[in-house]
Structure 1
Amino acid sequence: MESMHHQLRRLAAPLILANLSVPLLGMVDTAVVGHLEDPAPLGAVAIGATLFGFLYWGFGFLRMGTTGLTAQEVGGGGDVQLVLLRGLLLAGIIGAGLIALQGPLGRIGLDLLAPGPEVRPLAETYFAIRIASAPAALVHYVVAGWFLGRENGRIPLLLMVLVNSLNAALDAWLVLGLGMGVAGVAFASLAAEYVAAGLGLALVARAGGLARPAAGWAAVREGAALRRMVAVNRDLFVRTLVLLGAFAFFTRQGAAQGEVILAANAVLLNFQTLMAYALDGFAHATEALTGRTVGGGDREGLRRAVGAAAQWSAGLAVGFSAAYLVAGEYLIALLTGIPEVRAAAATYLPWAAAAPLVAVAGFLFDGVFIGATWTRDLRNAMLVVVFGIYLPAWWWLMPAFGNHGLWAAMILFLAARGVALGLLWPRRLAGVGLP
């Protein structure tokens, strides 16, 4: 029988590679505009990326919820096709709604992030172009979640690497070749997201996911199943929105300190994002294994899956922290050629190097609770951590310590996520397999 460590490595390896392509693309975006003479485009891309973090990752529950529900159907011998079709139905409705509401969404988002007068027009351009990709981005989430729930990490890897390679190539052509600036970055993302969605649906059709369900098309709209999916997704939506709000608040507080600090923090957040997507590879693999073991009532299997994931995640976090301490200033130089931004980023680099060590438990337990669809716990823990720890820490530390205080509050937030979910874990584990 395949060991849990081997199962985890088999799933996590392609997912880590797929996930790393996302922040590497973000670094390409940053590097392309970061070597322009004016820091305003770099700030605009940072603002735009944060805003789409709200709009797209706010609906990332479509990926997470689909993974957990699909994995549980696999463990319990249910119909995984119906989970897919319900997810695609929700993705289409939500994507169309985002396009219809783009005017107020863009204005409200930019008002909240409060970019300066030189940055805002560029951020508005980025938003107006990229919002058209909403349906494609959300369909991609559902497709990736469905394959992952079936413990197939190769398809998400294929989709992610293809789309991000295309995005990077278009970035270079449109921005550096054609001189389109921020608009070129947005058009590159728009085109790449539709390519990913189209290829994903083709692969789903090849796997039989778009054929008529055995229970008939009416089963897709079955009330109890849809209500369960909506309830899981609702909790994940609130949790993800609050999480993204924490990072958007960080970006806004950086913007309030001027363009140089905004740009420096944007460069260092690429380090955080790179680490987060790598650790998410193990978290996503844990989602699939957790969902299968919870769906089958296998408490011991769940315990072994989480133990294996904890070991691998901790090792990866230590590696990232060491790499940032040793090579951080070289990475900063790759991302921006603006001297004042480089100097500011180097000043705050130790905070970015500490982040992987304090954040690792939060990523691990995210994967566990998502795969088990213990989404109410995720929602409540996130609310407590943000409003009970992160914001009070910012209020207390930033006036006295400036941007160092802002980073300290972020570090406390990342640590508290893992602590809060870790306190809930023993009780949840004890309930697995009980009637």
Structure 2
Amino acid sequence: MSAAAVSGVPVASARRIAGLALPALVVLAAEPLYVLVDTAVVGHLGRVPLAAVAVGGTVLTLIAWLGGVLAYGTTGRSARRFGAGDRAAAVAEGVQSSWLALTAGLAVALGMQLVAGPLARTLAGSSGEVADAAAQWLRIAALGAPGLLLAAAGNGWLRGIQDTRRPLWYVLGPNLLSAVLCPLLVYPVGMGLVGSAVANVVAQTLCGALFVAALVGERVSLRPRPQVIRHQLAVSRDLLIRGVAFQASFLSATAVAARFGAAAVGAHQIVVQLWFFTVLLLDALAIAAQALVGAALGAGDDDGARALARRIGLLGGACGLAFALLIAVGANLVPTLFSSDLQVREQAAAIWPWFVVIQPLGGVVFALDGVLIGAGDVRYLRNVAVAAGFGGFLPAIWLTYAFDLGLGGIWAGLTLFVVIRLVALSLRLRSGRWAVTGVH
């Protein structure tokens, strides 16, 4: 069965890409939007609760990142089997990734009961009051980790079988419920900061339960298969190493920006968070690429996969160019929305041209990331990320510090990081070695 037959629409059509990308975008945005609501609710409790959520939220963000790694690894494997016409095998990948998610989630939930205190004290520094509040929040919120990771695994296999509509409702519904529940528990019920954590657990647990119910409804064997789980762990390992290279680079960039003063690090934080937001939007396109490329290769349609890769790359570049134009137009307005400090705005203005230039380059890079993840070429992605991060971005960051080049040097390093990846991914795409057909 061809990929086109599976979907009922030509595999590289813009309509098919949009049909997968737009619901995925809502799923990607739901969690950050809920975090904003949670932050706004807790912020009215005072400085200490807000700081506690900031500390605890950093830890949960790392757990969510692990879930993203699991989802990406599952999507490519599931999509290949779906493209080969074996829906049951595609869903079976979801069964195994769900066992992996459940095991990891339980380990996190239990482990956090032991390490929440020391971890919060490390992150909160000298503020014992904040550390105690953060530890309390973390111990409760971490109970939602199994649901969070089960939802990630569920997103993975459902994207693999070209279904992004059910994940839309499974994620959006619980998050909307929690957005209503959070202020009720915090204020009228009087639970305070604890109410925020409880609302978080309710959302994550309900979300995970919906994805598990979808899996059970497929009527496939739910027995764990260690051999398949080991293969999934190998993919996740490479994606984790890739992610560590990213995290190390961006943490170093923030550390160096802080050494240039409060205004510099404030401006860097504003611009880099805006960039992360555009990355979030482009990730929806990458998710569509993962599902469609995996299905095409599973169906033995390497020509279709190559055509799709080219179209996805062009769409990524076009989206990036559109963002660049919007950002250029908003150069004088957008920084004022985030800070009234003149020095912060001046520092932001100095790096704004880099922010504009990086958009179309990044648009192509993120799109091609999705193509290669869908093709299962994660080892190459790992090597590229390590080379670009430790061989390009990090040296540029620390040279910037050594020669006092300011934020411009940091953002030049970030641009170099993106350019190295763009060149490496383009060469890989052109070589065709990524387009390995069949199920493996």
Task: Please state which band the TM-score falls in when normalised by the shorter chain.
Answer: 0.7 to 0.9
The reply on whether 1:232 has 2:235 as its aligned counterpart is: yes
Query: Quick one: distance in 1 between partners of 2:168 and 2:345?
Result: 36
Letter in structure 1 aligned against 2:20: L
2:172 aligned residue (131, 150, 161): 161
Query: Quick one: distance in 1 between partners of 2:313 and 2:136?
Result: 42
Partner of 1:58: 66
Instruction: Give the secondary structure class of the aligned counterpart of 2:162.
Output: coil
Unaligned runs of 5+ in 2: none
Query: Quick one: distance in 1 between partners of 2:198 and 2:63?
Result: 17
The reply on whether 1:402 has 2:411 as its aligned counterpart is: no
Q: Which moved more, 1:50-59 or 1:102-111?
A: 102-111
Q: Within 5 Å, which residues of 2 pair with 1:65-214?
A: 65-78=73-86, 79-102=89-112, 103-104=114-115, 107=118, 111=122, 117=127, 121=131, 124=135, 127-170=138-181, 186-205=197-216, 208-209=217-218, 211-213=219-221
TM-score by length of structure 1 reads 0.82
Q: Is the 8 A contact 1:398 1:404 kept in 2?
A: no
The reply on whether 1:316 has 2:319 as its aligned counterpart is: yes
Unaligned runs of 5+ in 1: none
Query: Quick one: distance in 2 between partners of 1:262 and 1:188?
Result: 32
Q: Is the 8 A contact 2:324 2:356 kept in 1?
A: yes
Query: Quick one: distance in 2 between partners of 1:179 and 1:268?
Result: 37
| Deviation per residue, 1:138-161 (Å, 9 max, x gap) | 000011111100001112222333
Letter in structure 2 aligned against 1:202: A
Q: Which moved more, 1:340-349 or 1:357-366?
A: 340-349
Q: Is the 8 A contact 1:44 1:120 kept in 2?
A: yes
Instruction: Give the secondary structure class of the aligned counterpart of 1:297.
Output: coil
2:17 aligned residue (1, 8, 29): 8
Instruction: Give the secondary structure class of the aligned counterpart of 2:300.
Output: coil
| Deviation per residue, 1:239-262 (Å, 9 max, x gap) | 223323333444444556666655
Partner of 1:411: 415
Query: Quick one: distance in 2 between partners of 1:344 and 1:188?
Result: 40
| Deviation per residue, 1:180-216 (Å, 9 max, x gap) | 88766555433322222122223333xx23x352xxx
Letter in structure 2 aligned against 1:373: G
Letter in structure 2 aligned against 1:244: Q
Cα 1:397–1:278 change in 2 (3 A) is same
Query: Quick one: distance in 1 between partners of 2:52 and 2:358?
Result: 25
Letter in structure 1 aligned against 2:322: G
Partner of 1:420: 424
TM-score by length of structure 2 reads 0.81
Letter in structure 1 aligned against 2:287: H
Q: Which moved more, 1:287-296 or 1:307-316?
A: 307-316
User: Alpha-carbon deviation of 1:179?
Assistant: 9.4
State the identity as a percent: 29
Query: Quick one: distance in 2 between partners of 1:175 and 1:395?
Result: 44
Q: Which moved more, 1:409-418 or 1:226-235?
A: 409-418
User: Alpha-carbon deviation of 1:389?
Assistant: 0.8
Instruction: Give the secondary structure class of the aligned counterpart of 1:373.
Output: coil
Root-mean-square deviation (CA, aligned residues, Å) is 3.7
Q: Is the 8 A contact 1:140 1:200 kept in 2?
A: yes
Q: Is the 8 A contact 2:41 2:183 kept in 1?
A: yes
Letter in structure 2 aligned against 1:283: A
User: Alpha-carbon deviation of 1:171?
Assistant: 5.5
Query: Quick one: distance in 1 between partners of 2:344 and 2:195?
Result: 24
User: Alpha-carbon deviation of 1:290?
Assistant: 0.8
Instruction: Give the secondary structure class of the aligned counterpart of 2:163.
Output: coil
User: Alpha-carbon deviation of 1:90?
Assistant: 0.4
The reply on whether 1:373 has 2:376 as its aligned counterpart is: yes
Structure with the greater relative contact order (CA < 8 A, sep ≥ 6): 1 or 2? 1
Query: Quick one: distance in 2 between partners of 1:433 and 1:189?
Result: 41
Q: Within 5 Å, which residues of 2 pair with 1:2-41?
A: 2-3=9-10, 4-5=12-13, 6-28=15-37
| Aligned residue pair count | 424
Q: Is the 8 A contact 2:335 2:345 kept in 1?
A: no
Instruction: Give the secondary structure class of the aligned counterpart of 2:26.
Output: helix
Partner of 2:271: 268
Cα 1:265–1:28 change in 2 (3 A) is farther
